[in-house]
Amino acid sequence: MKLARTYLLLAIIATLFNIAVQDLCTRVYAGPYHLLLAMIVGTGAGLVLKYVLDKRYIFRFRADNLGHDSRVFVLYATAGLATTVIFWGFEFGFNHLFGSREGRYLGAGLGLGIGYLCKYQLDKRYVFTSVAA
């Protein structure tokens, strides 16, 4: 139960960070494809933060060296591709339905929440294993 609470807290932190980075991007740049650009930058920022938090506080993972850590990060990012589709689908969908920043971010939060539930299982089974070493 403690692990689930910790994972939930870290997912909330990463979600808020992702959305904050997106919001900053849309405030700085409002030109063509601003939403897509903001989502890409926010997703990248959230991915790196979530990786650092997950490997330390959830999986207690220690890489042997930078090369090992890089390989595990690539697996982590690859496992996140399907969950990113879920997250982006909700964010774009809510943006289309509500046409507002608040609606879009609500969709992003829901999509990230669902995605993180799936992502934990993928990470546990395929990323943070002895095979990944």
For 25, other C-beta atoms within 10 Å of its C-beta total 19
Q: What is the pTM of this model?
A: 0.86
Q: Is 33 left (phi over 0), alpha (psi -120 to 50) or beta?
A: left
Query: Mind listing the pLDDT tens digit for each residue in 45-87?
Result: 999 999 999 999 999 999 999 999 999 999 999 999 988 999 9
* Segments making up each domain of the chain, as ranges: 2-132
